[in-house]
Amino acid sequence: MLLHFGIKTVAVATLFGAASAFADTSFFALPKELQAEAKRSVEFALKTDYQKSYLISQKIGEKNPGAACVLRNVARLSEFDDVGDTLALEKAAKELAECSAEGAWDVLRAFELGYAQTSLGSSFKGALGTRSAAKKFEDVADKDAQAFYAIYAYYVDDGLSFLPFVSDDREAYLKILEERSQNSELFWALFATPLAWMYYDKQEYGKALKVVERALSKAPQNPVFLQMKADMLYKQQKYGEAATIYEQSAKAYLTRTGKSVRYFCAVGNLARIYLDAGELEKSKSYAKKLVDPEYEKIEKWMPGSLVKDLKKKDLYP
- Mean pLDDT, 10 residues at a time, the chain of 317 residues: 31 37 63 96 97 97 97 97 95 97 95 95 89 92 95 83 69 96 96 97 97 98 98 98 98 97 98 98 97 96 96 92
In this structure, are residues 136 and 107 in contact, taking their beta carbons and an 8 Å threshold?
A: yes
Number of domains in the chain: 1
In a domain, 145, yes or no: no
What local confidence, expressed as pLDDT, does residue 161 receive? 61
What local confidence, expressed as pLDDT, does residue 12 receive? 35
| CB neighbour list of residue 228: distance below 8 Å, 6 or more residues apart | 193, 196, 212
DSSP SS3 for 160: coil
d(CA 317, CA 303): 16
Domain span at residue 291 reads 204-317
In a domain, 121, yes or no: no
What local confidence, expressed as pLDDT, does residue 21 receive? 35
**Which CATH number does the domain housing residue 256 bear?**
1.25.40.10
In a domain, 137, yes or no: no
d(CA 218, CA 289): 33
In a domain, 304, yes or no: yes
In a domain, 314, yes or no: yes
Q: HEC profile for 179-230?
A: HHHHHCCCCHHHHHHHHHHHHHHCCCHHHHHHHHHHHHHHCCCCHHHHHHHH
Q: What's the burial of 145, exposed, middle or buried (CB within 10 Å: 0-12/13-18/19+)?
A: buried
In a domain, 214, yes or no: yes
DSSP 8-state secondary structure symbol assigned to residue 28 = T
In this structure, are residues 202 and 224 in contact, taking their beta carbons and an 8 Å threshold?
A: no
In a domain, 250, yes or no: yes
In a domain, 275, yes or no: yes
